[in-house]
Chain A
Amino acid sequence: MRPAAAVVLVLVALGTGCGEAPTSDLAAVLDALPQEEPDTTLVESDDSTPTPTTTAARRECERSELATRSLVPTGDELGGDAIAAIRERGRLRVGLDENTLGFAARDPRTGDIEGFEVELAEAIAARIFGGDGAQHVETVPVVTNDKLSLVEAGHVDMTISANSMSCQRWERVAFSTEYYTAHQQFLVRREAAITSVDDLARATVCVTTNSSSIGILEEHVPGVIILQVPDRTGCLLLLQEGDVDAYFGHDSFLYGMIQQDPTMVIRDLLPPEVTVSHYGIAVSHDHPELVRFVNAVLEELRNDGTWADLHEDLERIGVPAAEPPPARYRD
């Protein structure tokens, strides 16, 4: 029995050590793979949404209609600190949209940003630097949600991107005098049976995140379902794909969208006094002299016929003829 036991012991010893290989750190390697990222198509706003709190200053602003009144030009703004800083940098940083045909859109064929608002930016740059303003404009793309915060944070000198002036927004930034008057309307598919506000009950309407459209819809279109997306063009896409029934936005964007998709139509369903928007150029409260300077430039454009020329380009994409909005001042 003893030799048998010995053989068994030897075999057991061999067998237990058999086939053991060092384990690999596979888990660590797989952990390094890119992880799933959060859905970025529908972002929550980082800017505060309209709050119902009404301060005394806000009431005073609304009573005196200060929202559309800006700072009067004095004629010596070019000597101010803000302009000096821009000159030193060599470029005017402007927040512009890239997707709004007619106002500010990047032509995918050339890569250039063109439109009414781009021309305004270039005119301002031309007054600061002299010569061709286009060379001195640095465009920073903005979406609705960040066009004020970029000004507040000092990332841009100004945004010219369909900013509707309101008392609430004046609490965050200063505005120039009005450069364009828009009305909010509905873009729908041509065959859609949406001809009155009642047809919009339980309909899904796309708006841009944090836009003034949300408050208007909530107040005047009962039962509507609101879908917020970061960029306006995203709404057109959702409308084209049938994910939403309408896009509620400024007519200034809608004409450009019809240019891109003739199967869409504009429906004017709400009274004009509700939907009117006065566009101003947003500038930081830290640089009142820059606000005055911009107002001086706008004054010039109104008076020398440049505004009318620029508007003619808009009329080519269907925007109705209009006079330049009058400049209104606070002081």
Chain B
Amino acid sequence: MSTAEGTAIDASRSDRSARRAWPLSAVSTPTALKVAMVVCVAAVTGFGIVGTRTALDRRAAAADVVAHGAPLLVDAQELYIALAGADAAASTIFLEAGDEAPARRDRYLADLGRAGRRLAAIAAAELPPRATAAAATVAEQLPVYALQVEAARTNSRLGHPVGAASLRRASALMRDEILPAATGIYEDAALALDERYAGGTAPTGPRAVVLCAGVALVVLVLVQLYVTRRSRRWLNVGLVVAVALVVGTAAATLIVVQGQADALARSRDRGADPVTRLSTARILTLRSLSDDNLELIERGTEAEYREDFALSIARLGLGDARGVLDGVTAPTAATRRTMAVLDARFDAYLAAHAQVQELSAAGDWPAAVQVAVTEEADAVRALDRMLTDLIERFAATLDGEAERARGRSRALPVATAVAAVAAAIAVVIGLRPRLKEYR
């Protein structure tokens, strides 16, 4: 208290110099006080608007991840898988020759249906222009593909070799046009989700809040000093309350936003990133199987499929190799066990593949086909189920953490707005009595 008194006396002593130093000293005290009040209210209101805005943006970003970003990624991934699955089923049916297994035919039809449903969901979502064009390509070419597969099937049942040409054409359409378009949609979905994460964790919002809080505090403190000099009263309660509210709200905003950004970062790093990696692994696996089937259909005269198979497998990053899978870290012991089994499943697939290659190289085509449509196809189906299961687990983390991020900031926008309004009211209530003293 003694220091406070000292400061007050000190202030009165240096009244002359203060008059020159303070811009408000040039005008009459009531006018200066009015201006001070307006500036304080404006600064506090500005802080309130920016703070509320930031809180709303953050909440929207987290909600966007849950409501749009993640579902689009899953839809795009499932679209690719359904399309590649349909093509694998069609080529396997063709390889089997003779009476097709009804189950395989059902799977082909189910895959076409799934592709259609996912495409409808994707088309209904907000898409970048490139993905919109790609979705149109899939929508236009898929019926043509189905038509060619049916032509192949009908001709094959009649014993007409032209069926093989139809199937080759259908498969070329799928691999050269439809699947690249689906890959484009998937890429765009992954990039769009990443952008939403970037928006939800960017430091610009919190920095603006800090800046506005700083401006408001500087204004409030300066006005407090001015009022102290004029009124010779040490502290103005209204201004003190306003300062406390601004500091408290800014601190709360930063803490909540930091927590939210952490949750979103977890959603990305422990959810979206492994989901993208595993989805890419799923796509590469199906692609490699399709390479193997096509090589059998064309009877090994083209090295192209073998090279593409090797490339897809190399990109997976199995075992100690670098690739999409080696970036996936299992969060729990159960997931770690699943990942270990996954490696074993890949080994089984590659063993079946080697067997097909060996039989094919030895010229035993029927035996190679037999292994391809049984052991190899089964191994890939088992792999695909495991990858799907893992993707679902990581997708749950993605959703859960994003949901938590949204939950954290549920009350923040309203609280910030209320606190700012309260601070403005406190400023007015605090300065009114000083103003009245001059009436």
Q: Are A141 and B298 in contact (CB under 8 A)?
A: yes
Asked if B68 CB lies within 8 Å of chain A CBs, one says no
Which residues does chain A contribute within 8 Å of B165, judged by CB atoms?
Answer: 99, 231, 233-234, 236-237
- Chain B 213-249 interface 0/1 with A at a Cβ cutoff of 8 Å (1 = within): 1100110111001000000000000000000000100
Asked if B120 CB lies within 8 Å of chain A CBs, one says no
Q: Are A7 and B247 in contact (CB under 8 A)?
A: yes
Give A251-301 interface residues, CB cut-off 8 Å to B: 256-257, 259-261
Q: Are A260 and B155 in contact (CB under 8 A)?
A: yes
Which residues does chain B contribute within 8 Å of A236, judged by CB atoms?
Answer: 162, 165
A-side interface residues toward B, CB under 8 Å? Answer: 1, 3-4, 7-8, 11-12, 14-22, 24-26, 29-30, 32-37, 39-41, 91, 93, 98-101, 105-111, 138-143, 146, 150, 231, 233-234, 236-237, 240, 256-257, 259-261
Interface SS, B side: helix
Q: Are B210 and A41 in contact (CB under 8 A)?
A: no
Which residues does chain B contribute within 8 Å of A140, judged by CB atoms?
Answer: 299-301
Given A8-B214, A21-B265, verify A110-B162 contact (CB < 8 Å): no
Asked if B78 CB lies within 8 Å of chain A CBs, one says no
Q: Are B214 and A34 in contact (CB under 8 A)?
A: no
B-side interface residues toward A, CB under 8 Å? Answer: 94, 97-98, 155-166, 168-169, 172, 175-176, 179-180, 183, 186-187, 190-191, 194, 197, 201-203, 205-207, 209-211, 213-214, 217-218, 220-222, 225, 247, 250-251, 254, 257-258, 261-262, 264-265, 268-269, 272-273, 276-277, 280, 283-284, 287, 298-301, 304, 308, 312, 315, 323-324, 327, 363, 365-366, 369
Query: How many contacting A-B pairs (Cβ < 8 A)?
Result: 201
Q: Are A100 and B161 in contact (CB under 8 A)?
A: yes
Which residues does chain B contribute within 8 Å of A108, judged by CB atoms?
Answer: 94, 97-98, 155-157, 159-161, 163-164
Q: Are B194 and A101 in contact (CB under 8 A)?
A: no
Which residues does chain A contribute within 8 Å of B284, judged by CB atoms?
Answer: 32-34
- Of the listed residues A26, A36, A236, the one surrounded by the most CB atoms of chain B closer than 10 A to its CB is A26
New A-B contacts (13) at CB < 8 Å, excluding given A12-B214, A30-B276, A141-B298:
A14-B210, A19-B201, A21-B265, A21-B269, A24-B273, A29-B327, A30-B191, A39-B172, A99-B161, A143-B301, A146-B301, A237-B165, A237-B166
Given A20-B203, A236-B162, verify A29-B277 contact (CB < 8 Å): yes
Which residues does chain A contribute within 8 Å of B164, judged by CB atoms?
Answer: 98-99, 106, 108, 233
Which residues does chain B contribute within 8 Å of A91, judged by CB atoms?
Answer: 363
Q: In chain B, what residue has the closest Cβ to A107?
A: B159
Q: Are B269 and A22 in contact (CB under 8 A)?
A: yes
Which residues does chain A contribute within 8 Å of B220, judged by CB atoms?
Answer: 4
Q: Are B257 and A19 in contact (CB under 8 A)?
A: yes
